[in-house]
Amino acid sequence: MEPLAHSARPEKGIPSQTYHDHICAVMKRASANTENACRYLQGDSSLFTQAVTSAALCHDLGKLDPLNQHVLAGCSKKGLPVKHEDAGAACLLQIKDIPAAILASKHHQGLPDLNDEKQRKELFLRNEAAFSRTEQYLPEYIVDHNTYVSEHLIPEVSKVDTNWPFKGLGLRLALSCLVDADHGDTACHYGNEGGMFPPNCRWQERLQALQEYTDSLFNQDPESQRNILRKEIFKSCKDAGIGYGIVACDSPVGTGKTTAVMAHLLNVAIQKKLRHIIVVLPYTNIIKQSVETYRNALVLPGENGAEVVAEHHHQADFDHIDSRYLTTLWKAPIIVTTAVQFFETIASDKPARLRKLHELPGTAVFIDEVHNTIPSWMWPQMWQWINELVGGWSCHFVLASGSLPRFWEFPKMAKTNVSIPDLVPKQIREKADQAERKRIKYSTIPEPLSLATLIERILSVPGPRLVIMNTVQSAAVVAHELCGVESGKRKGDGYCNVLHLSTALCPVDRDKVVDQVEMQLGNKSEKDWTLVATSCVEAGMDFSFTTAFRESCSVSSLIQIGGRANRHGEELVSEIWDFRVFRDEPLLNKHPSFDNSRMVLAELFAERKMDALTSTALATEAMRREVMTTFDKKAEKIADREKKYDFPGVASLCRVIDADTRTVVVSQRLITILQQGIKVEYKDLLRNSVQLWPKKVEFLALEEISASPGLYKMPEEYYGGFGGNSKPCLGYMKGVLPLVYMHKEGMII
């Protein structure tokens, strides 16, 4: 009987897959992945290609063990008794192909700490439990492989060149090429993925479509000073040279940065023949507006907008074979994703998350609201990787913000051989800064507030009002309390005095709340209402409130809130209030990460610099002060772990959000489908789920969906979706909030 790589699933009508078919398919896919990535490699690709190809050939060699074949043939429902990765590693170690051995050994487990591996001596890259059996039967595995696969394994060959030139990022990219091939073929066999044929790039046509789209907007009010400024910025970005491969875009809020930078990226993609454009945003909920803009501007007649501009709301990478098809992949021409997904993918050690990384070479990347994407101490290592991607893999980066801190000029940062140019000329930036100073005013409330006093202050100022809290719980509590005070004041159907927006809501409900906010902001006759939110709305949202409150967080966050008030200069001036709450306020919890940045913000208010410096100068000075106290030790630890090839250590230190969250499905319809083992589109999963910490999953006693390991289900009574009524949509805080109030009263049993 021909050996198998995957067992049959007769209950689903899925046959077994032969070892020959799987190895050949993985080889073909891995070769294509490698070839596509190495087209953009600045240098010799032979060692990279050799490592991926050899690992693909050997990765499942251990499945040929008779004990494993017994299980794969359906004679047992248990897992494979012999760890199959060990044989491939053993075969490759015989010829000293260390990079390939790493890939084969760790294609399920993930990249290791190579220093720890070296300490294991003869067990280097080997599985201790399988070691003896592999040593005994390896020659037989090789004979069987050579019998059924035309691409033979020949262990007695001369030693290969082991001078691996690609550092840690290169190993991550190589593992990505292999894992995508392995996961992809397995998922296709089990019917969880079909053939993926993304639309053609058509960059030149999309640039023309973008020009026509922006011209139509500019022509609506051609004499407007703001439109004149936007048009100048668009032209500057579009016509800017491609240079070294890293450029800055310091453009204040409301000046058309979203489309202007895209024009630059499209021009670069045309000149460099790039294959993707990735837009990186700091928060999940601002993806919606950016995606809508790009689909309206860039999708050509006859195309599917979702295939041209892909939106990735949060991490959804799964290792289990039944959930792999849900992994978000960077296949589309244009991808709009989050900072969490982008930066944690580059730093990852895990196969499921790394699967999409090989699509990054030959990509133009727009990192918007740079100051809010990652903690400041992560930037030295990210800066190294960005320069490696630019210099080694033909990537192009735009670092943008309405208040861009020029962190690359700090003494602790690795220096490039060239300066980082600005897309927007100095004279245009100065004109934009002058307009910004006339629009908003920053103020602070020096004394801490109680919850009751905070509610009074919010309701004492002109509306519509925006209130940003530092935590999901605090935002839900303030919205709940405001709703109680405002009850009975509802102005009519479809109108809400209090709205709530945070990551406690799934993307579907967040979109509905955003639509409601936009509708109410458009109703100029009704201004007495409040939106309570978390930082998820402080960047990228086209909102314009009369007054804004921001729980003290950081200089950059306060500046960003300035972009959500008096956005188009409708008011003479809008006030942006910085405030603090009492530490012992029982219902409002404290965010642990903001102590240092809050202190710096207080210093700049005390020094009267918040209204004296430009937004760029403020952001740079604030980041400089923050870096002085937290930067060195953490940044140096990441650099040291990366230099020593400690992949798990680097991944752990480079968590953008320091929480190991779980995906919880809130749609009862989707839960029913998943429980029946029916395939769902990953977009539906992302848009109808939330992310919860494991402790909160345990606290709420949420159950895993048995047919989709790694996914949890939210009971209907625990989740409050958007209903368009007078009560704010609280998402999963509907189930948590009663427990918070009970805890305040000492009633938790």
Query: What pLDDT, in 10s, does the model give residues 218-262?
Result: 888 887 777 888 898 899 999 988 778 999 998 766 678 889 999
By mean pLDDT, which of 26-35, 105-114, 286-295, 341-350 is the weakest? 286-295
User: What distance in Å separates the CA atoms of residue 418 and residue 272, rounded to the nearest whole number?
Assistant: 19
- CATH pick for 203-435 out of 3.40.50.300, 2.40.160.50, 3.30.70.260, 1.10.760.10: 3.40.50.300
Q: Which CATH superfamily is domain 438-499+517-612 in?
A: P-loop containing nucleotide triphosphate hydrolases (3.40.50.300)
Please give the order of strands across the beta sheet that includes 465-468: 440-444, 574-579, 547-551, 465-468, 530-533, 498-501
Contacts of 246 (CB under 8 A, 6+ apart): 386, 387, 390, 396, 397, 398, 399, 416, 420
pLDDT of residue 745: 56
Token pair for 143: 């004979």
User: What distance in Å separates the CA atoms of residue 553 and residue 598, rounded to the nearest whole number?
Assistant: 5
Beta-carbon count within 10 A of 594 CB: 16
Chain segment 582-592, per-residue pLDDT in tens: 888 888 888 77
pLDDT of residue 746: 46
Q: Where are the domains of the chain?
A: 4-189, 203-435, 438-499+517-612, 662-744
Range 111-120, long-range pairs (CB < 8 A, 24+ positions): 111/171, 111/172, 111/175, 111/349, 111/354, 111/647, 111/648, 112/349, 112/647, 112/648, 113/644, 113/645, 113/646, 113/647, 113/648, 113/649, 114/644, 114/645, 114/646, 114/647, 115/644, 115/645, 115/646, 116/646
Chain segment 677-732, per-residue pLDDT in tens: 888 887 788 889 998 888 888 888 899 998 888 899 999 999 988 765 557 889 99
Of the CA atoms within 13 Å of residue 626, those in its CB half-sphere come to 30
pLDDT of residue 324: 47
Among the listed residues 19, 101, 111, the one whose alpha carbon sits nearest the alpha carbon of residue 60: 19
Among 8-12, 283-287, 432-436, 536-540, the range of highest mean pLDDT? 8-12
Q: Does domain 4-189 have CATH number 1.20.120?
A: no
Based on its alpha-carbon atoms, the radius of gyration of the chain, rounded to whole angstroms, reads 27
Tell me, yes or no, if the two domains 4-189 and 438-499+517-612 fold the same way: no
Residue 110 — pLDDT band, cuts 50, 70, 90? very high
